[in-house]
Amino acid sequence: MAVSLTLNGSRVNLNVDSSVPLLWAIRESAGLTGTKFGCGIAQCGACTVHVDGRPVRSCLLPISAVAGKAVTTIEGVSGPAALAVRDAWEKLDVVQCGYCQSGQIMSAIALLNDKHDPSDAEIDAAMSGNICRCGTYVRIRAAIHEAARTRK
């Protein structure tokens, strides 16, 4: 079965079973491997992508749920918030092992698209579903504040 959607700005038809999780359709059918598999139960956030601009966990979401929608992965994210997050992540040397970072970055961009100057509590709430095994939470929060500051 072909599922039609907009993936990183381009209309695509992915020939997959409608029950296949979005994560596997993105990685295996579309060949975009920046979105990571972490836990498989939508608890760690490594698989976070944007669907119509909102962050979602792609490991459990069936591809049929995004038919006709716009899906953005780490490979296709762009705009002022994305640029500010990327620059802040590099400036503050956020990444340690890096495995969770595509999900962290996607969640941070979504937050900054909604809140131009988020508080610590708003950052914590937006990022709460993203687990970092290396414990870089302090650097992640600082980078989000830096990205917000540089966007002003």
| Residue 62: CA count within 13 A, CB half-sphere | 7
Tokens of 29: 């059918």
What is the model's pLDDT at position 83? 97
Cα(147)–Cα(145) distance, integer angstroms: 5
| pLDDT averaged over 10-residue windows placed end to end, the chain, 152 residues | 95 96 98 97 97 97 98 97 98 95 98 97 96 96 98 78
What is the model's pLDDT at position 40? 95
Which of these, 96, 140, 92, 99, lies nearest to 120 by C-alpha position? 140
Expressed in angstroms, the distance from the first to the final Cα of the chain is 46
What is the model's pLDDT at position 151? 87
Beta bridge partners of 4: 13
Tokens of 12: 């695509």
Residue-wise DSSP of 90-136: HHTT--SS-TTHHHHHHHHHHHHHH-SS--HHHHHHHHTT---TT-T
